[in-house]
Amino acid sequence: MIRGAASALVVTLLGVLLAGLVAEHTESQALRPLAKNYVTMAPQQLATPNVVTGILLNYRAFDTLGEVAVLFMAAAGIGLILGGRADARGALLAREPNATVSSSEIVQSGAALLFPLIAIFGAYIIMNGHLSAGGGFQGGAVLASGVMLLLLARPSYPLNVGILGTTESLAGVLLVVAGIAGLIFSGGFLDSRVLPLGEFGSFFSAGAIPVLSVLLGIKVGCELSVIIDQFRR
């Protein structure tokens, strides 16, 4: 009784606080000075219509690299924590060879149909991140969602974590190499202007941003797929 009343009181106070914030909110009619500078500079300096991608993969690319490193550490930590569970599951299946888990035929057929479409859509988001909404993070998450669908449909599917780990590491090394190239040949670490900017709005444009987006998408997709694989064990 007391616990329920305390929970109701906390929820009520949070609701009152949220209502006050919503009531005082007013929509800004103009960009803030910093946002206005980014919106102006990104198309001119980086030749990319997508200002967000320009910020993530040029102006603040070092922060993006740090975020990917955090995701890698999260994947490594989950692997260490769930490693014992995976060993226990393997021992259980070794004692009970017929203890397999399977999904319905509808789920398997749906996964077989949707997985290629999800993979194509993820690749599209990654490769067009400099032109429209999307980029490496978003596309990598879409690719990982396809892997999750595949594992839900076929829980015993032998996902090769070794290849995923090697691919992720290679993409990370190439990201650092691209960053050093920008430091040597352009304005700074991970400066996308190390490659020609090209024509504004065309597919081959925005300097090295499409390349960085592809490497980032591969790295994020592999890391999230490894995390998903660890949880299904």
Q: Note the pLDDT of residue 101.
A: 59
Tens digit of each residue's pLDDT (9 = 90 or more) over 65-88: 888 888 888 888 887 887 655 555
Distance CA(180)–CA(177), nearest Å, equals 5
Q: Note the pLDDT of residue 23.
A: 83
Are residues 175 and 65 in contact, defined by beta-carbon separation less than 8 angstroms?
Answer: yes
Distance CA(233)–CA(229), nearest Å, equals 7
Q: Which residues does 153 contact at the CB level (< 8 Å), separation at least 6?
A: 103, 107, 108, 110, 111, 112
- DSSP character at residue 156: T
Tens digit of each residue's pLDDT (9 = 90 or more) over 137-175: 999 999 999 999 999 898 888 888 889 989 999 999 999
